[in-house]
Structure 1
Amino acid sequence: MVRLTRPRVLVVSIAALLLAYAFAVAPATTIGGAAPRPPTTAETGAVVPAGAAGPPLQPAVELFPPAGKAFFGVMTDKGPYDFTAVDRFAAAARREPQVMLFGVGWESGTFDRVLFDRIKDRGMLPMLGWEPWDYRLDQAARKQKKVTARQIDRLRSIQPRYRLSRIVDGDFDGYLRSWAEGVKSLGYPVAIRFAHEMNGSWYPWCERANGNRPGEYVEAWRHVHDLFEEAGATNVIWVWSPNARWSRTAAHLSGFYPGDDYVDWVGATGYYGTGAWSKYSTFDTIFGPTIAEIRTFSRRPLVVTETGATDAGGRKAQWIRETFRALPKHRDVIGLIWFEVDKERDWRIAASPAASTAFAQSVADPRYDLRWSPDLVPRTELE
């Protein structure tokens, strides 16, 4: 018989306690035992709603632009084929733009991934100005001698091949699908500004030109949109962009709007120094009525998709400063794209030291201190 001395009793007691803990307290890890305890919220960093069961929610996505921020972008004459003008613009602005707009006409514009990747690789969201026409007819009209601006508009707008009814009837479906498949293959967000300034009369897709009829613009937009959806090209930011209202009698914009289900960003084009705004006009004078009208039928964020200012009256720098001071008052405006081109007027900020300084000081505001990258999700709701 083993004699239970005090030391032996102590050893036996400790062993018994350890066995009891292993079987009754500690979680089982052997086959047939209970499942291990899942990690806590503190361990994973995920957010679990109060009372919710199941796995934790994923962290919130990062939006472009973030709340309280706005982007600025650029459009140049050579687009992604030559970034010289972009580099000069960025040097003048002392900050890199986050979006780049470039145009492609349907007559000669086949999908080319390289153009988008070049923009993306420079940290800018590509925005395609997709134009259903033969732009070479526009160039030919401009070369004619003793032709007024109105006559140029009329000459370039008459292109029966590109009537809206032909888009609606499916005559371009093969072309559209090739682009949808191409855009889908990019795997990152792309903005498409389809058939802009539709409320005018100077392009063949305008309802007031080229034999088009009321309602056909919306039908054409929805047809193009639906083909992209069917192809799985869901990485598109659809940008609807009329010309800013230039008179009280201009056509109401609601008749051209496809609906919030078909649009992600609404936009507007307007310049100080031409047409109805040849005399000095502030940002609110040019864009205010248009923004107010758009807000009667859409709740999508707004982008100034084209703007610029002339220095003919010596007030270009002033206009730039006043515009950037006015923008924060419009909480629904999430971005502005500058037309950095010498065309009809010299709109470039890089061509004027005063304009460069005004622009650089304006975008130095923390409001414009942001980045774009392919992993960001576009903001499509108002704050």
Structure 2
Amino acid sequence: MKKNIFLTIFIFFFNFLVFAQDDTLFFGTAIDGFPISTSKLKKIQKEIGIKPDIIVFFLMWPNKEKINNSFNLTYSLDAIDQFGAISCITWEPMFLNNSQEQTILKADIVNGKYDEYLDEFIFQIKAFKKPIIIRFAHEMNLSRYHWGVEKDEYNESSPDIYIQMFRYIVDYFKKNKVKNALFAFCPNVDSVPNTSWNKFKNYYPGDKYVDILGLDGYNWGTCASEKNLGWNSSWRSFKKTFQNPVDELRDLSMLKPIIVFETSSAEKGGNKTYWLEKAIKEAKSLDITALCWFQVNKECKWKITEKQKNILRKQFFNRKYSIKKWIEGMKK
């Protein structure tokens, strides 16, 4: 136990001494689609004007009838590695049933019904050998996902259910001696519903199960309305979006790095270019290690455009340290 504490403190001060003095902030992109090809990555680089450090992609689980179906994760991991970036797998325990999302129940996971799928997934992760980030069941504090339960059962029992699932997955990786996976705990900045049981701290699996703390949060501007999304949004800065959530995560762990795995700004309601420029400065002031931009136009026009490219080129053109050096330090 003491050895683990001293190791954690060593890693913290190693990262502080090596990276903090250089004011390093890594920049990544969250993208849709799977598998991830080299041509797709080059397209993203062209869109944002720089080469991203982290590629966040989304991967659903299979339904029980397709557990034994083959899948090729290595192809995407190799493409991202050769591109010079780190992979972050947003690993979603759900599948599509007639185009509808179907959440996998906790019992099916912790009672071993998906162990064959986990075995194949782990085989490919171990074969890859290089460090990756796994963001299992992200945004657990949003009823939109209700991980491990049916939607009408998302309630005060959900945090405990989530913890059981998260710990089962991490323990399964440890049992299979996976050395190159870093697990991220990643709530959304806003809890829905906003109730006492739905706070970050209630879902936290514990320090021995989490390597990286994460957050997802967006400036919706005036993009959302009762008419199109069922609620009204307003413009808010990066700092206003993330300050309190960062403080909540720091209450859970002072030493673990924080990565924003999804963020963006809408165009409606303010100046998106200025928002990005300030966001980079504010992320550094909040001691955030990396900021990943959601490069997909979905509910709003989230993507980096020509107007924002120069901001990224100016801020990230001369980075002294590589993301790969940082993540190798995390695994020591």
Task: State TM-score, norm by structure 1.
Answer: 0.70
More helix by share: 2
Alpha-carbon RMSD? 2.9
Alignment correspondent of 1:354: 307
Q: Give 1:359's aligned amino acid.
A: L
Q: SS at the partner of 1:342? A: coil
1:289 maps to 2:244: yes
1:181 deviates by 2.0
Alignment correspondent of 1:17: none
Counterpart-to-counterpart distance in 2, 1:130 and 1:233? 16
Alignment correspondent of 1:67: 19
Superposed, which structure 2 residues align to 1:12-91 within 5 Å?
A: 66-68=18-20, 69-78=24-33, 80-84=35-39, 86-91=41-46
1:281 deviates by 0.2
Q: SS at the partner of 1:347? A: coil
Counterpart-to-counterpart distance in 2, 1:321 and 1:378? 29
Q: Give 1:177's aligned amino acid.
A: D
Q: SS at the partner of 1:184? A: helix
Larger radius of gyration: 1
Task: State TM-score, norm by structure 2.
Answer: 0.80
Q: Residue by residue, what CA displacement relative to the aligned partner does 1:176-234 show, whole Å, maximum 9, x if unpaired?
A: 12211221111110110001011111124166836363301001000010111111112
Superposed, which structure 2 residues align to 1:48-197 within 5 Å?
A: 66-68=18-20, 69-78=24-33, 80-84=35-39, 86-107=41-62, 110-135=71-96, 140-141=99-100, 156=101, 159=103, 162-197=104-139
1:86 deviates by 3.4
Counterpart-to-counterpart distance in 2, 1:334 and 1:271? 18
Does the Cα contact within 8 Å between 1:66 and 1:379 map onto a contact in 2? no
Does the Cα contact within 8 Å between 1:111 and 1:178 map onto a contact in 2? no
Alignment correspondent of 1:257: 204
Of 122-131 and 92-101, deviating more is 92-101
Change (3 A) 1:210 1:111: farther
Q: SS at the partner of 2:170? A: helix
Q: Give 1:211's aligned amino acid.
A: E
Does the Cα contact within 8 Å between 1:301 and 1:380 map onto a contact in 2? no
Any stretches of 5+ residues in structure 2 without a counterpart?
A: 1-13, 225-230
Does the Cα contact within 8 Å between 2:48 and 2:309 map onto a contact in 1? yes
Counterpart-to-counterpart distance in 1, 2:298 and 2:17? 30
1:95 deviates by 2.8
Change (3 A) 1:286 1:74: same
Alignment correspondent of 2:180: 235
Count of residues in correspondence between the two structures: 296
Q: Give 2:285's aligned amino acid.
A: K
Q: Residue by residue, what CA displacement relative to the aligned partner does 1:287-314 show, whole Å, maximum 9, x if unpaired?
A: 1111111111223110001011111235
Does the Cα contact within 8 Å between 1:200 and 1:208 map onto a contact in 2? no
Q: SS at the partner of 1:261? A: helix
Change (3 A) 1:269 1:92: same
Of 86-95 and 189-198, deviating more is 86-95
Does the Cα contact within 8 Å between 1:310 and 1:346 map onto a contact in 2? yes
Does the Cα contact within 8 Å between 2:180 and 2:331 map onto a contact in 1? no
Counterpart-to-counterpart distance in 1, 2:176 and 2:32? 31
Counterpart-to-counterpart distance in 1, 2:118 and 2:281? 41
Change (3 A) 1:124 1:218: same
Change (3 A) 1:323 1:380: farther
Q: SS at the partner of 2:178? A: coil
Change (3 A) 1:255 1:246: closer
Q: Residue by residue, what CA displacement relative to the aligned partner does 1:115-140 show, whole Å, maximum 9, x if unpaired?
A: 11111111111111111111455xx3
Q: Give 2:178's aligned amino acid.
A: A
Seq. identity, %: 25
1:370 maps to 2:315: no
Does the Cα contact within 8 Å between 1:245 and 1:289 map onto a contact in 2? no
Does the Cα contact within 8 Å between 1:197 and 1:206 map onto a contact in 2? no
Q: Residue by residue, what CA displacement relative to the aligned partner does 1:83-104 show, whole Å, maximum 9, x if unpaired?
A: 4553344235443111111111
Does the Cα contact within 8 Å between 2:140 and 2:146 map onto a contact in 1? no
Does the Cα contact within 8 Å between 1:65 and 1:378 map onto a contact in 2? no
Q: Give 1:370's aligned amino acid.
A: Y
Residue number among 317, 320, 323 corresponding to 2:276 in the alignment: 320
Q: SS at the partner of 1:87? A: helix
Of 106-115 and 369-378, deviating more is 369-378
Does the Cα contact within 8 Å between 1:244 and 1:286 map onto a contact in 2? yes
Alignment correspondent of 2:265: 309
Counterpart-to-counterpart distance in 2, 1:118 and 1:279? 38
Counterpart-to-counterpart distance in 2, 1:178 and 1:85? 25
Superposed, which structure 2 residues align to 1:270-285 within 5 Å?
A: 270-273=217-220, 278-285=233-240
Change (3 A) 1:282 1:375: closer
Any stretches of 5+ residues in structure 1 without a counterpart?
A: 1-61, 142-155
Q: Residue by residue, what CA displacement relative to the aligned partner does 1:148-196 show, whole Å, maximum 9, x if unpaired?
A: xxxxxxxx4x54xx11232122221221122112211111101100010
